[in-house]
């Protein structure tokens, strides 16, 4: 079972989250960590840990029971109205393909049962590298497998071309742009997708 821990400035888990953030996202797709932790935009910044060792005490030794939680991944999302945009989401590389990503998405859905959940992925057709194309296709297929569908929204941000996927209902381009206008309205010079 996953345990969710909120990440804030000074969190003891911040170094793990930051290391995964920096390894999972190219520099042009990242914003500075201090902005992710800033209170100007109300974000949900969560780290996810597997606490199954703590639940199954039956045949475990004392050292296994006292073992620290296993860091699985993180999400960083923003909600407004009935839209929740998962801005950043990553699973530890050594734990991928073990169901943790699906569990994290399910946890986000449970926290926002009445929201349309949106994610953006890099447009597959733009990749000129076979390995990158394969990575983008795997990411798309992961979300499609988790009940996301293509939304009629594409945009460019920081030199990258993105396509929106949504679960719990579609999001129009106007809704998506209005979502970001509202989120960024009090931040001078902020650019929205």
Q: What does the pLDDT look like over 71-113, one tens digit per residue?
A: 999 999 999 999 999 999 999 999 999 999 999 999 999 999 9
Task: Look at residue 54 and tell me if it is in a domain.
Answer: yes
Task: Look at residue 9 and tell me if it is in a domain.
Answer: yes
Contact assessment for residue 84 and residue 118, using Cβ atoms and an 8 Å cutoff:
yes
Task: Look at residue 189 and tell me if it is in a domain.
Answer: no
Task: Look at residue 99 and tell me if it is in a domain.
Answer: yes
- Give phi and psi for 38, each to the nearest 5: -70, 145
Does pLDDT of 126 surpass 50?
Answer: yes
What are 129's strand-pairing partners? none
Tell me the percentage of the chain whose pLDDT exceeds 70. 91
pTM of the predicted model as reported, rounded to 2 decimal places: 0.87
Q: Determine the average pLDDT of the residues in 159-172.
A: 94
Task: Look at residue 44 and tell me if it is in a domain.
Answer: yes
For 154, the domain range is 2-184
What's the structural domain count of the chain? 1
Task: Look at residue 190 and tell me if it is in a domain.
Answer: no
Distance CA 17, CA 15 (A): 5
Task: Look at residue 193 and tell me if it is in a domain.
Answer: no
pLDDT score at 127: 79
Task: Look at residue 42 and tell me if it is in a domain.
Answer: yes
**DSSP for 6-26?**
E--TT-TTHHHHHHHHHHHS-
CATH number of the domain residue 171 falls in = 3.40.630.30
């Amino acid at each position: 079972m996953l345990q969710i821990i909120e990440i804030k400035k000074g969190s003891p888990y911040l170094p793990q989250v930051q290391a995964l953030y920096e390894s999972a996202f190219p520099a042009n797709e990242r914003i500075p960590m201090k902005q992710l932790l800033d209170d100007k935009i109300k974000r949900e910044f969560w780290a996810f840990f597997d606490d199954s060792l703590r639940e199954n005490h039956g045949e475990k030794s004392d050292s296994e029971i006292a073992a620290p939680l296993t860091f699985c991944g993180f999400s960083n999302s923003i909600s407004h109205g009935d839209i929740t945009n998962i801005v950043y989401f990553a699973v530890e590389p050594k734990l991928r393909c073990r169901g943790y990503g699906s569990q994290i998405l399910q946890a986000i859905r449970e926290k926002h049962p009445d929201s349309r959940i949106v994610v953006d992925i890099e447009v597959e057709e733009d990749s000129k590298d076979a390995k990158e194309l394969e990575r983008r296709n795997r990411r798309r297929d992961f979300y499609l497998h988790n009940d996301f569908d293509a939304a009629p929204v594409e945009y460019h941000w920081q030199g990258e071309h993105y396509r929106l996927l949504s679960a719990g209902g579609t999001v129009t381009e106007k809704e998506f742009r209005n979502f970001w206008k509202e989120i960024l309205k009090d931040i001078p010079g902020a650019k929205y997708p």
